[in-house]
């Protein structure tokens, strides 16, 4: 069985050397050829079978995209990885639509690149190579940070590990406190999303502060993407653009993490969503409750009866009360000269 043949095409010698050195670390029989131009690459392809083409997009003469098309005309099953140092959205769109197995931004993250190579060549035990283009995790974070003019972009896992980071965390932000707050927020929003039936969280949160603004989204179920930028950075129309940019980055990161074997979903048995607590009220067994209107009528009658009885009793008491020591009769009053004279 012949060794796999990988052709590297890049006009930068240092870039070719880095990729070659990475491929030489793989524990498989791989023949590596590197050339600086598309024209030279066509000569190699015409003279020997190629299993994997690794090509830069911008080359002197024919481009990497044109080289891919010519190479696949000769070998339709050829696997292709494209590389570019350009972050222009139009170029990115062309690369995404080119039908390559993977693509990376420069500087290439070697670990991600080697995993993509192994998948393309079937060295991971999978017959089919990755069908979706891949961008290196660190490169994607760097491009997102640059596109939205953020100070720092961080990809953090649900166990508190910073998976990748672009830019430095501001010195006046405490990393420990920030990570703790992020983990709490991610856990709560993840459980909320699952509780309402979402397969995975599709959130977008902006926290405005006096010095910095923070934007946070989930990447799958187990990771979060955080951007930090100066205050008043995410207001108004900018928030909508920021949301779109972050969600586009999430789509790329999900593919990249999947290709390199990093899990982004939680095992269902590990998700603990508390059941609603049912509160049972203990009611005394006093029989059926009386009608409220009847109670009011009854109370009104009782009040009237009580008042009438009081005054009747008072009058009767006055009638029965005998003259006491402090009272005298009319005759006695006349004798004492206290009664009026009779005419």
Residue 229: HSE in the Cβ half-sphere, 13 Å Cα cutoff: 20
Predicted confidence at residue 307, as pLDDT, reads 57
Contact predicate 134/256, CB 8 Å: yes
- For 267, phi then psi, to 5°, come to -60, 135
What are 197-206's pLDDT values in tens digits? 776 788 888 8
Exposed/middle/buried for residue 68 (C-beta within 10 Å: 0-12, 13-18, 19+): buried
pLDDT score of 313 more than 90: no
Between CA 113 and CA 42 the distance in angstroms is 23
**What number of other Cβ atoms are within 10 A of residue 226's Cβ?**
25
pLDDT at 129: 37
Q: Please work out, in degrees rounded to the nearest 5, the angle formed at the alpha carbon of residue 322 by the alpha carbons of 316 and 325.
A: 140
Angle at 341 between CA 336 and CA 342, to 5 degrees: 125
Q: Which residue, 240, 239, 218, is CA-closest to 229?
A: 239
What is the predicted pLDDT for the residue at 100? 84
What is the secondary structure of 143-176 as a DSSP string? HHHHHHT-SEEEEEETTS-EEEEESPPPTTS-HH
pLDDT at 89: 67
Architecture of domain 138-265: 2-Layer Sandwich (3.30)
- CA distance linking residue 224 with residue 217, whole number of Å: 6
Q: Express as a percent the part of the chain with pLDDT over 90.
A: 23
Average pLDDT, the chain: 77
Give residue 71's pLDDT: 93
Every domain of the chain with CATH number 3.30.450.30 lies at 138-265
- CA 323, 324, 325, 326 dihedral sign is negative
How many other CB atoms sit within 10 Å of the CB of residue 315?
10
Query: Given a cut of 70, is residue 86 above it in pLDDT?
Result: yes
CA angle 220, 226, 171 (to 5 degrees): 150
Phi, psi of 135 (to 5 degrees): -115, 140
Q: Give every CB contact of residue 87 below 8 A, 6+ residues apart in sequence.
A: 105, 143, 146, 147
Average pLDDT over residues 150-176: 86
Q: Is the pLDDT of residue 175 over 50?
A: yes
What does the pLDDT average to over 159-176?
Answer: 85
CATH number of 4-134: 3.40.50.2300
Using 50, 70 and 90 to split pLDDT, how confident is the model at 127? Answer: very low
**pLDDT tens-digit map of 239-280:** 888 888 888 888 888 877 765 656 677 644 444 444 544 545
Residue 33 main-chain phi, psi, to 5 deg: -125, 135
**pLDDT band (50, 70, 90) for residue 194:** confident
Query: Which pair of structure tokens corresponds to residue 280?
Result: 């049972």
81 pLDDT tier (thresholds 50, 70, 90): very high
pLDDT band of 5, cuts 50, 70, 90:
very high
pLDDT value of residue 117: 92
Q: Is it true that the peptide bond before 107 is cis, omega within 30 degrees of 0? A: yes
pTM for this structure? Answer: 0.47
Express each pLDDT in 15-74 by its tens digit: 999 999 999 998 778 999 999 999 999 999 999 999 999 999 989 999 999 999 999 998
DSSP assignment letter at 202: -
In the three-class reduction of DSSP (H, G, I as helix; E, B as strand; rest coil), residue 70 is classed as helix
Distance CA 108, CA 15 (A): 9
Burial of 230 (0-12, 13-18, 19+ CB in 10 A): middle
């Amino acid at each position: 069985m012949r060794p796999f043949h990988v052709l590297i095409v890049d006009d930068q010698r240092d870039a070719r050397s880095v990729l070659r050195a990475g491929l030489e670390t793989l524990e498989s029989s791989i023949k590596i050829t590197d050339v600086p131009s598309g024209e030279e690459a066509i000569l190699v392809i015409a003279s020997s079978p190629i299993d994997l083409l690794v090509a830069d997009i911008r080359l002197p003469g024919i481009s990497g995209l044109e080289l891919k098309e010519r190479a696949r005309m000769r070998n339709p099953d050829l696997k292709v990885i494209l590389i570019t140092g350009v972050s222009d959205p139009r170029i990115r769109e062309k690369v995404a639509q080119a039908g390559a197995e993977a693509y990376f931004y420069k500087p290439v993250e070697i670990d991600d690149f080697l995993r993509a190579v192994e998948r393309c060549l079937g060295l991971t035990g999978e017959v089919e190579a990755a069908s979706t283009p891949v961008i290196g995790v660190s490169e994607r974070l760097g491009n997102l940070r640059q596109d939205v003019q953020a100070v720092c972009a961080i990809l953090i896992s649900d166990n508190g590990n910073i998976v990748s980071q672009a830019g430095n965390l501001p010195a006046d932000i405490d990393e420990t406190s920030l990570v703790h707050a992020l983990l709490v927020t991610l856990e709560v929003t993840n459980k909320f999303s699952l509780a309402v039936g979402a397969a995975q969280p599709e959130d977008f949160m902006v926290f405005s502060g006096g010095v910095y603004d923070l934007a946070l989204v989930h990447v799958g179920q187990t990771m979060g993407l955080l951007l930090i930028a100066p205050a008043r950075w995410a207001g108004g129309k900018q928030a909508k653009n920021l949301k779109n940019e972050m969600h586009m980055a999430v789509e790329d990161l999900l593919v990249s993490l999947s290709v390199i074997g990093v899990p982004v979903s939680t095992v269902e048995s590990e998700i603990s969503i508390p059941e609603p607590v049912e509160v049972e009220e203990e009611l005394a067994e006093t029989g059926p409750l009386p009608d409220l209107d009847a109670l009011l009528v009854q109370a009104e009658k009782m009040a009237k009866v009580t008042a009438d009885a009081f005054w009747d009793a008072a009058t009767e008491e006055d009638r029965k009360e005998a003259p006491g020591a402090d009272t005298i009769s009319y005759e006695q009053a006349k004798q004492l000269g206290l009664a009026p004279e009779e005419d």
